[in-house]
Chains A and B, each alone.
Chain A
Amino acid sequence: MSLSRRQAMWAWAFLAVPVLFYGLIRFYPTAQAFWLSLTDWDLMSEAEFIGLANYQEMFADPVFWKVFVNTFLYLIIGTPISLVLSFIIAYYLDKTRLLHGFLRALYFVPYITTAAAMAWVWRWFYQPAPTGVINDILGSLGFAQVQFLKSTTWALPSILVTAVWAGLGFQIIIFVAGLRAIPTTYYEAARIDGLGEGAILRRITLPLLKPTMVFLVVFSSIGFLRIFDQVYNMTSNDPGGPLNSTKPLVLLIYQTAFSSYEMGYAAAQTVVLFTILLIVSLLQLWVMRDRA
């Protein structure tokens, strides 16, 4: 047998199980989700083809639009805040030698904790006084109590704080890696040219960090678009409440499919999520196009 035939034989032997897996567990279900989104199906009777009726119903549903807006609120508030915070921390952390690893660990630990557990800790923090730490501090400073998780104004930002907090450590580590990757000769040359720290930051550090920033913007956007664990656990007595004010798309999908058993309708909602995530990923490719 020729070498290339032997190679091909081994390659397909190695790939047999994985190809089967990706076909059955990734590609077939994707096609099925698209198909189901065109059907009316409650798991009990046969799925009935209804064309685009699910999409018509969804786009006419005020709850869907409320959820859609919520999902983008998580994204457009959360991403810039976490990006700016993590950059500032990473910038100074990178310059720090004294107990660098220890400081880094303090920021990084929240990232590896279980979101479900931490959601309950934050939920406790947000309780009214005398139980909740935050209201207790507000009270001792003479401020009024805030019903963080029961207020339609405050509930979403309160959950967002938890999500930003949980993801910050990851972003810091990525920024530090990006800063380390900038050759020190660039900085030396800039200092010889008499540039100050601010000018170096603007003209060298930030432009060279562009790939890192694009990656983090996309990574963090996808994270916020898929937010679920925190919302589910922090509002579990009324998931996504009060009055749907915290409900993100993934929670709506979960409820439509597994509380109401409207499988076709839920599939249509997942197609919307898929489309949004695809657009975000394509934007990333477009922004990075000149680096290929």
Chain B
Amino acid sequence: MSEGGHWMHRVDPGAVLRWTLLFLGGLIMIAPLLYMFSSSLKPGSDIYDLRLIPQTVTLDNYRAVLSDGRFMRWFLNSTFIAVCVTLSTVFFDSLVGYTLAKFRFRGRQLVFIAILSTLMIPTEMLVIPWYLLSAQFGWIDSYWGIMFPGMMTGFGTFLMKQFFETVPDDFLEAARIDGLNEFQIWWRVAMPLVTPALSALAIFAFLGNWTAFFWPLIVTTSQELYTLPIGLSSFAVEQAIRWEMIMTGAALATIPTLIVFLLLQRYIVRGVMLAGLKG
């Protein structure tokens, strides 16, 4: 008998109760998001009406928030930064992970331990030196200034090394006999074999940088360079208690991650599982 049809034949009251409780718990979990979207669609005069379904639905808040142009700018900043940092992270973490997994050379173990040890160093300890470095090189308030600390990560390198170790040496040897150079072997032979790990790493890097707050808050000073979370934070302070505007801003910052989640749900969940088991 198939798993799927099982519940239709025999309804267990305990199972129904458990399912209902799980579902109610899930509703509580997403209630903040539901309320956020609902009040972003209400006219300002209805903000004290706490019913979840708006009596009047209007897109005026979205028009108002989007028409001042800053949100578009922050959105583009966040997208540009997250995409660049993700590309860099995926490229370098897998290059280093591959080198450490597949090459035999003196100093390999030392490099691996050194990179692994960076996982113990909290970002908070590095921000003051990074700030000084940025001030010296004129990187404060620049895209590069926001991006440079995240170009490579110890976590991603570790994850990729684990995966490249599962690639059989015979494949690489065959490519060597075919006359490919080492860079081509990595890029054209090894990389396609670890796409699940690459996609997991890319999704983590993207979401992590999209929602990053601490370093962008420190290194940006002008509104034009804000990322979406920093922009939203300053926008919310400025709107004081116009909650319908703040909720609209919050919704605009949330919609892209929800779209990414809906499109890539399977990969994200699998990636979290991988990271948890490998971590």
Contact = CB atoms under 8 A, between A and B. Distances in A.
A124 B247 contact: yes
Contact of A131 (B47, B233, B279): B47
B22 A92 contact: yes
A163 interface: no
Given A92-B22, A120-B232, A106 B253 contact: no
Given A18-B152, A25-B148, A96-B22, 12 more contacts: A8-B106, A10-B183, A18-B95, A21-B152, A22-B114, A92-B22, A97-B7, A115-B211, A127-B243, A226-B124, A232-B233, A257-B131
Most chain A Cβ neighbours within 10 Å, of B19, B98, B251: B19
A265 to B, nearest CB: 10
Given A11-B108, A116-B233, A257-B128, A165 B29 contact: yes
Contacts of B126: 25-26, 29-30, 33
Contacts of A96: 18-19, 22
A243 B264 CA distance: 43
- Which secondary structure dominates where chain A touches chain B? helix
Nearest to A12: B105
A64 B106 CA distance: 46
A154 interface: no
Contacts of B27: 106
Contacts, number: 255
A25 B130 CA distance: 8
B198 interface: no
A15 B243 contact: no
Interface stretch (A52-60, A168-176, A186-194): A168-176
B76 interface: no
B121 interface: yes
Interface residues of B, number: 92
- Which secondary structure dominates where chain B touches chain A? helix
A181 B277 contact: yes
Interface of B: 3-4, 6-7, 18-19, 21-23, 25-27, 29-30, 32-33, 35-36, 39, 47-48, 50, 92, 95-96, 98-99, 103-106, 108, 111, 114-115, 118, 120-122, 124-133, 135, 148-149, 151-152, 182-183, 186, 207, 210-211, 213-214, 217-218, 228-230, 232-233, 236-237, 241, 243, 246-247, 249-251, 253-254, 257-258, 260-261, 265, 268-269, 272-273, 276-277, 279
A116 B247 CA distance: 12
Contact of B125 (A8, A33, A117): A33
A281 B36 CA distance: 37
B119 to A, nearest CB: 8
A108 B133 CA distance: 38
